[in-house]
């Protein structure tokens, strides 16, 4: 039989395990890396992925000598769809202006809300499309995309529709999250009334959304309000997530475990008790070290403590216009190595198989029978990619067995 695609002479082939549950604790430090590997693809699926073999013939062969091959990456936390940008706030932050001072001067999250409301659906689509294509060029083929910059019915649904349009156009494995309770809009009569408005919006949001999320933090939504919202979402059949313990240890991680959330995200300030309870839960702790880096904070999420307690972690960008302005997951992998003290194996599992579990998507592995979503990296080994930071190491991105990105560098020529 002649197959569609043969990737041969792979210097290192990264094969995360296929698993029903997220990898926990020490298991995250186990990574199957095959030296001199081969991958065979037919009709968009993996036929074989393992040690070198000459047992297969294919219509197309890619020589991956001196290359690393892995599953496509999974970005499990993004705010992909939003209007405007906030670059002017960088200078204000360097001048010592606090978040509240920036907010009072018309900046902060509410400025993004205003820009998102002012943008048409097509304008939001075009902006998010460019950012999504950047992610794809950096090796990502599965993405979670949140709303949360509309803060009213019309504009929250607008964001979710844009997210669905992107999925349909590019055939990516996308998940869409309704984050209506992300902040309190200026026009809200009260926090309680606004939260009820977002709860009432859940049935319509469910037409587009896979998950419901809430920002549980001082000055935003309390633990009790977050619980009420999560239980309302669950009653409709929506799975839940939570922005938790980013600044203050309110107990959001504990609530996520109690409510069987698919993920709890940020967790910089989570308590030792809640981190210990991760061992009895399949809730994935989605850590966002790029956000801590961009905000220039000293304390990062305690990834090592979570793993030592046999918890499950994933790594994501948190791409957004205010607190983490990067859609390069490779860069965040480097920050995870430096600041979260993660090993290369832990990082690779955290951006593939465990990130996929955090958004309930069939991705992150390229074992027999899996979709052939593959990245070929111009790197001598898998440790090199988080080591050589700030650049794009992708050479080829393969979606369902077809090369959609080819970045082989060549000599510059005069036009």
Model confidence pLDDT, tens digit, residues 144-153: 999 999 999 9
Residue 414's pLDDT band, with cuts at 50, 70 and 90, is: low
Based on the fold, state whether residues 57 and 133 are members of the same structural domain.
no
pLDDT attached to residue 415: 52
Model confidence pLDDT, tens digit, residues 233-287: 999 999 999 999 999 999 999 999 999 999 999 999 999 999 999 999 999 999 9
Based on the fold, state whether residues 151 and 200 are members of the same structural domain.
yes
Q: Which of 348, 340, 261, 310 is nearest to 26 (CA)?
A: 310
Residue 1's pLDDT band, with cuts at 50, 70 and 90, is: very high
Residue 137 annotated as part of some ligand binding site: no
Model confidence pLDDT, tens digit, residues 163-188: 999 999 999 999 999 999 999 999 99
Residue 412 has pLDDT above 90, yes or no: no
Residue 42 annotated as part of some ligand binding site: no
Residue 382 annotated as part of some ligand binding site: no
pLDDT attached to residue 392: 98
pLDDT attached to residue 235: 98
Look up residue 390 and give its DSSP letter.
Answer: S
pLDDT attached to residue 191: 96
Q: What is the mean pLDDT of residues 113-124?
A: 98
* Residues 278/249, Cβ–Cβ less than 8 Å: no
Is 414 inside a domain boundary? no
Q: Which residues contact 227 (CB under 8 A, 6 or more apart)?
A: 255, 259
Is 413 inside a domain boundary? no
Residue 413's pLDDT band, with cuts at 50, 70 and 90, is: low
Percent of the chain with pLDDT over 90: 93
Residue 138 annotated as part of some ligand binding site: no
Which pair of structure tokens corresponds to residue 218?
């001082």
Residue 86 annotated as part of some ligand binding site: yes
The whole-angstrom separation of Cα 349 and Cα 364 is 8
Q: What is the mean pLDDT of residues 12-20?
A: 97
Q: What is the mean pLDDT of residues 215-232?
A: 96
Chain-centroid distance, C-alpha 272: 25
Chain-centroid distance, C-alpha 129: 16
Based on the fold, state whether residues 37 and 163 are members of the same structural domain.
no
Residue 79 annotated as part of some ligand binding site: yes
Residue 411 has pLDDT above 80, yes or no: no
Mean pLDDT (the chain) is 96
Residue 251 annotated as part of some ligand binding site: no
pLDDT attached to residue 98: 76
pLDDT attached to residue 94: 84
Based on the fold, state whether residues 368 and 303 are members of the same structural domain.
no
* Residues 154/201, Cβ–Cβ less than 8 Å: no
Q: What is the mean pLDDT of residues 156-162?
A: 98
Domain total in the chain: 2
Residue 182 annotated as part of some ligand binding site: yes
Based on the fold, state whether residues 87 and 43 are members of the same structural domain.
no
Percent of the chain with pLDDT over 70: 99
Is 266 inside a domain boundary? yes
Based on the fold, state whether residues 282 and 393 are members of the same structural domain.
no
Q: What is the mean pLDDT of residues 352-380?
A: 98
Is 390 inside a domain boundary? yes
Is 126 inside a domain boundary? yes
pLDDT attached to residue 215: 97
The whole-angstrom separation of Cα 224 and Cα 227 is 5
Residue 246 annotated as part of some ligand binding site: yes
Q: How many CA atoms lie within 13 A of 174 on its CB side?
A: 26
pTM of the model: 0.97
Residue 367 has pLDDT above 60, yes or no: yes
Based on the fold, state whether residues 180 and 209 are members of the same structural domain.
yes
Residue 308 has pLDDT above 70, yes or no: yes
Based on the fold, state whether residues 61 and 149 are members of the same structural domain.
no
Is 90 inside a domain boundary? yes
Based on the fold, state whether residues 208 and 331 are members of the same structural domain.
yes
pLDDT attached to residue 360: 98
Based on the fold, state whether residues 291 and 279 are members of the same structural domain.
yes
Based on the fold, state whether residues 326 and 386 are members of the same structural domain.
no
The whole-angstrom separation of Cα 10 and Cα 32 is 14
pLDDT attached to residue 100: 64
The whole-angstrom separation of Cα 307 and Cα 8 is 35
Based on the fold, state whether residues 90 and 218 are members of the same structural domain.
yes
Q: What is the mean pLDDT of residues 157-165?
A: 98
Residue 88 annotated as part of some ligand binding site: no
The whole-angstrom separation of Cα 313 and Cα 263 is 9
Q: Which range of residues forms the domain containing residue 200?
A: 73-358
Residue 339 has pLDDT above 80, yes or no: yes
The whole-angstrom separation of Cα 251 and Cα 245 is 7
Residue 322 annotated as part of some ligand binding site: yes
Model confidence pLDDT, tens digit, residues 48-98: 999 999 999 999 999 999 999 999 999 999 999 999 999 988 888 888 887
């Amino acid at each position: 039989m002649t197959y569609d695609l043969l990737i041969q002479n792979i210097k290192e082939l990264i094969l995360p395990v296929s698993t029903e549950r997220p990898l926990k604790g020490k298991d995250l430090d186990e990574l199957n890396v095959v030296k001199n590997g081969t991958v065979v693809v037919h009709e968009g699926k993996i036929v074989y992925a393992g040690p070198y073999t000459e047992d297969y013939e294919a219509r197309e062969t890619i020589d991956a000598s001196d290359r690393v091959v892995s599953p496509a990456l999974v970005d499990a936390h993004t705010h992909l769809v939003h209007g405007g940008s906030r670059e002017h706030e960088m200078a204000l932050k360097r001048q010592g202006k606090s978040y509240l001072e920036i907010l009072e001067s018309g900046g902060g999250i509410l400025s993004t809300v205003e820009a998102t409301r002012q943008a048409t659906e097509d304008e939001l689509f075009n902006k998010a499309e460019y950012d999504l294509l950047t992610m794809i060029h950096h090796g990502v083929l599965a993405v979670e995309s949140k709303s949360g910059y509309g803060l009213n019915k019309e504009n929250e649904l607008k964001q979710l529709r844009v997210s669905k349009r992107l999925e349909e156009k590019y055939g990516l494995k996308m998940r869409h999250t309704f984050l209506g309770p992300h902040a309190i809009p200026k026009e809200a009569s009260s926090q309680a009334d606004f939260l009820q408005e977002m709860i009432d919006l859940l049935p319509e949001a469910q037409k587009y959304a896979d998950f419901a999320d809430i920002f549980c933090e001082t000055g935003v939504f309390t633990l009790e309000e977050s619980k009420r919202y999560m239980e309302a979402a669950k009653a409709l059949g929506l799975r839940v997530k939570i922005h938790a313990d980013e600044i203050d240890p309110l107990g959001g991680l504990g609530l996520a475990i109690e409510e069987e959330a698919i993920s709890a995200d940020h967790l910089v300030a989570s308590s030792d008790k809640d981190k210990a309870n991760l061992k009895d839960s399949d809730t994935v702790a989605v850590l966002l070290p790029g956000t801590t880096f961009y905000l220039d904070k000293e304390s990062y999420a305690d990834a090592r403590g979570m793993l030592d307690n046999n918890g499950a972690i994933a790594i994501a960008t948190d791409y957004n216009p205010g607190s983490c302005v990067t859609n390069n997951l490779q860069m965040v992998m480097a920050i995870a190595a430096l600041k979260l003290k993660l090993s290369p194996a832990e990082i690779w599992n955290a951006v593939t198989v465990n990130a996929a579990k955090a958004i309930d998507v069939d991705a992150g592995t390229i074992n027999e029978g899996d979709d052939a979503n593959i990245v070929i990296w111009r790197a001598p080994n898998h440790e090199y990619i988080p080591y050589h930071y700030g650049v794009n190491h992708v050479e080829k991105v393969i979606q369902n067995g077809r090369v959609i990105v080819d970045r082989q560098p060549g000599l510059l020529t005069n036009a």
